[in-house]
Structure 1
Amino acid sequence: MNHYLSLFLCAIALTTASAQSPVSNADREIVFKSVNVIPMDRETVLRDQTVVIKNGKITALGDDSKVRVDKGALIVDAKGKYLTPGWSEMHAHVPAVDDLAPMKEVLMLYLVNGITTIRGMLGNAKHLELREKVRSGEILGPNFYTTGPAFSGQTVKTAARGIEMVKEEKAAGYDYLKLLPGLTKETFPGIAKTSAELGIPMVGHVSFAVGVWAAIDAGYSTIDHLDGFVEAITPGIDTLAEQETGLFSSWTAYSADTSKIPKLIKALKEKNIRVVPTQAIAERWLSPSPANDYANDPDLKYMKPEDVKNWMNAKNTYNNNPKFSKEHAEAFVNIRRKLILACQKGGVQLLLGCDAPQVLNVPGFATHHEMKYLTDAGLTPYEALKTGTVNVAEYLKKMDSGVVKIGNVSDLVLLNGNPLEDIGQTKNIEGVMIGTKWLPKTYLQSELKKLEKR
């Protein structure tokens, strides 16, 4: 029996045996044969490559004829398919409960969608336990980073309490501080100062009373949702109460002055503040479309019926508000698109994030919507893909990730189509690699079936 026939027969046996379960590369190689590699360190496709994975690392990558493969390797026939780095979701939500079961479900929704890193944006002590179980391999899920309990108008009543909370969360071992609305000019400065002193970054919302200029000066690590951006370019915003402006200034965006955008972009760039747009919120929940447009969305079957009902009610409440008009909602979506494109062109690094589970945004699936919305804003597919790969690797200082190359971690997605030509191909997943585990399509499909709620 020749060498290649032996490999072929081995591949058949191993693929059949592992159809419904992850395959580990800790003890043997997993090899993608004849695959088209999208390395992401440049906009190109490396055709007909062999990529070898072992112990969670890419150990070889090259022309099929030049790469040696172990006899016991699992061969994945990837002819005509595309291998790309796994994506990161930088504004995820994991249930903040005492039970790990619902947390594991959300992690799996992300993972089956090719998302190999997430940043949980509303944490508690159980998330610290979850993080360790994911790192140890006890729980299968994306690489997990977490904020602590949120800083808001409800949790921070005094400047002293804000400072104390920063110290508590740093000592507990959280990765970031999550800021919610409701902070004031009295409570915010102490949080910001202590955050800088202790080296635990601030991320999330910009409180209306604080404003984006103070947030930039304070050195946020990431500003999420473009929060405060529309207010910063809207004349007369200081004469309005927060409740008059709407969520993310959705009621007043129609009067924004786009000539003020360059000043905002320059300030963000100078402070090296990253931006997590969560445009999926605007394009779905806060869009001019009626709730009925989303009633048959196939993603919703992974959410509990009561959650879907609440989402539909929230969408209807927004559309039925006396301040709502189709024209103003369209203006809101469009001004956000302009801001996103200005960030991209102005050198402000965008990080992929969609804020799921949130109204009409299902974990994992919504991240694919987000990439499409980034291209709708004017980014190329390559630029949109960078927001969840290269940009995140740089942000997290994980320089062995975000790019497909020898020595890098094997957090990868195998696709059936080329996302550089059609960003919608990110949803066309054939399999996912997370560290030492290969999750073939049959496994992904079986896990999704388990997660259906209705």
Structure 2
Amino acid sequence: MKSHRLSLAFAIAAWAAAPFAAACQQGAQARVTAFVDVNVIPMDSDRVLAGQTVVVSGDRIVAVGPSSAVDVPNGAQRIDGAGKYLMPGLSEMHGHTPGGFASDTFREQVMFLYAANGVTTVRGMLGLPGDLELKARTNTGEVWGPTLYLAGPSFSGGSISSADQAVERVWTQKREGWDHLKIHPGLTVPQYDAMAATAAQAGIRFAGHVPADVGIRHAILMGQETFDHLDGYMEDAGGIRGPMDEARMEELFALTIDARAWVVPTMVLWEVGVIGLGDPDALAAYPEMRYWPPQDVEGWKNRLQAIQGRAGWDVEQARLHASNRTRLLGMMNEAGVGILMGTDSPQMFSVPGFSIHRELAAMDEAGMSPYEILVSGTRAVGDYFQRYDSFGTVAAGRRADLILTNSNPLDDVANIADRAGVMVRGVWKSEAEIQRGLADIAASFGN
């Protein structure tokens, strides 16, 4: 071997010195995979590195470099990357898990749906019984699915009746092992402030909706880290029933950036499930509905028909609201507000994993470039979760969450769906394996 070539032994030595090495699988016994002669989209900048070899050992990337300089270890699984593109896995930053009375089989199916579509990280936003057990099974690799970071049961007008109760709930969820707190509407300002102050003491973050009494500006100042569904912004600047006040928007954007807060837009779900746009029969005929329980799809149809049939619903007003939301997202992106990819699946025709691809199109419609869209689901999410792990770019030491595509996503984000396979925490599944798994799920629902 020539001395200038990067050997696996050297790569593993460097990897072992990294701060996240303790989370990795054990040395010589770890599974080793090599993507050979692949085009890498590292997501550290808007670029493609041609002719690369990427070596994965256990759940970590251990080497990235020109194929002429990186050795493929003996016995490694070799994946031919010629003509293909390797990028970091995507994230669902407002997702849900099937807790409660769901069967283990259905929980595993939902995890598969996320991962099969390249969603390798999910921030769960409503804790349910069974969620922490599912997190343990998934994050350790017993179940092939995304790495989960989970909120506990939400803080809302229905669950909190006093500031003291809010304080107690924070400490309870911290002890139980939830990763963050979920905010729903209905909290009073004293209840919200007690929650926020206690969360700071406990070292646990909080995110989600903005209670009407609290308002977006106060929530930003109190340390809420994400504002999901663009919550609070439209209300503050008057974009629901008329033109937005752009001067107020600019103030809000500056406040958000200064606080290092983020937004999770969930554009598609909001248009369908809240604003009420869309044809129920056409939405129920989406191809991905075959992977979801038919009774749930029928329930979604009934709910949308109810929204459209209620007194006072105005399709033109709904379209104006949707148009303002699209414009708002574009303005946020131009201003430099941090954007995190999310869809609020599974609900209202948003099937886990598949909903991300529909959200990509909505972000494109808002004027975001392919690279900016990809950042929101990869590197930006890695930045958000950097206290827990290192991921979101293709580099040595990062968690091995990867998507291999047949065409370049930087040319068109829709190319993410043109998959050759997905790797989650170092476990690779080819597109053929993914399709077999999806067919099994469809068959379980009689499709």
Q: Give the TM-score, by structure 1 length.
A: 0.87
Contact 2:44 2:393 survives alignment (8 Å):
yes
**Structure-2 separation of matches of 1:295 and 1:197:** 46
1:450 aligns with one of 417, 440, 443: 440
| CA RMSD after TM alignment | 1.8
1:10-49 alignment, distance < 5 Å: 27-49=30-52
SS in 2 for 1:187: helix
Give the corresponding residue for 1:418. Answer: 408
Contact 2:40 2:394 survives alignment (8 Å):
yes
Contact 1:283 1:373 survives alignment (8 Å):
no
SS in 2 for 1:392: helix
2:74 aligns with one of 71, 76, 81: 71
Instruction: Say which is worse superposed, 173-182 or 404-413, in terms of deviation.
Output: 404-413
Are 1:304 and 2:293 matched, yes or no? Answer: yes
**Structure-1 separation of matches of 2:398 and 2:263:** 25
Give the corresponding residue for 1:343. Answer: 332
Q: Deviations over 1:377-403 (max 9, x none)?
A: 111010000001010101101563111
Question: What residue identity is the alignment partner of 1:67?
Answer: V
Contact 1:52 1:59 survives alignment (8 Å):
yes
Instruction: Say which is worse superposed, 101-110 or 82-91, in terms of deviation.
Output: 101-110
Are 1:121 and 2:135 matched, yes or no? Answer: no
Give the corresponding residue for 1:385. Answer: 374
Give the corresponding residue for 2:177. Answer: 173
Question: What residue identity is the alignment partner of 1:153?
Answer: G
Report the CA distance between 1:161 and its aligned residue. Answer: 1.2
Question: What residue identity is the alignment partner of 2:69?
Answer: K
**Structure-2 separation of matches of 1:189 and 1:70:** 55
Q: Deviations over 1:154-204 (max 9, x none)?
A: 111222211111111111111000111111224222111111221111111
**Structure-1 separation of matches of 2:126 and 2:329:** 24
Contact 2:125 2:150 survives alignment (8 Å):
yes
Are 1:266 and 2:254 matched, yes or no? Answer: yes
Question: What residue identity is the alignment partner of 2:341?
Answer: L
Give the corresponding residue for 1:16. Answer: none
Contact 1:400 1:409 survives alignment (8 Å):
yes
Report the CA distance between 1:28 and its aligned residue. Answer: 4.8
Give the corresponding residue for 1:14. Answer: none
Report the CA distance between 1:281 and its aligned residue. Answer: 1.3
Contact 1:413 1:433 survives alignment (8 Å):
yes
Give the corresponding residue for 1:237. Answer: none
Report the CA distance between 1:289 and its aligned residue. Answer: 2.9
Corresponding pairs, count: 414
**Structure-2 separation of matches of 1:173 and 1:281:** 29
**Structure-2 separation of matches of 1:301 and 1:407:** 38
Are 1:105 and 2:109 matched, yes or no? Answer: yes
Instruction: Say which is worse superposed, 52-61 or 294-303, in terms of deviation.
Output: 52-61
Give the corresponding residue for 1:282. Answer: 270
* Identity rate, percent: 37
**Structure-1 separation of matches of 2:30 and 2:178:** 33
Contact 1:290 1:319 survives alignment (8 Å):
no
**Structure-2 separation of matches of 1:282 and 1:359:** 9
Give the corresponding residue for 2:83. Answer: 80
**Structure-2 separation of matches of 1:381 and 1:148:** 33
Give the corresponding residue for 1:406. Answer: 396
Report the CA distance between 1:26 and its aligned residue. Answer: 5.4
Q: Deviations over 1:105-160 (max 9, x none)?
A: 21111010111111111113522222222232222221111000111111112222
1:349-388 alignment, distance < 5 Å: 349-388=338-377
SS in 1 for 2:189: coil
Contact 1:277 1:351 survives alignment (8 Å):
yes
- 5+ residue gaps, structure 1, are 1-24, 235-248
Give the corresponding residue for 2:162. Answer: 158
Report the CA distance between 1:287 and its aligned residue. Answer: 5.4
**Structure-2 separation of matches of 1:27 and 1:161:** 46
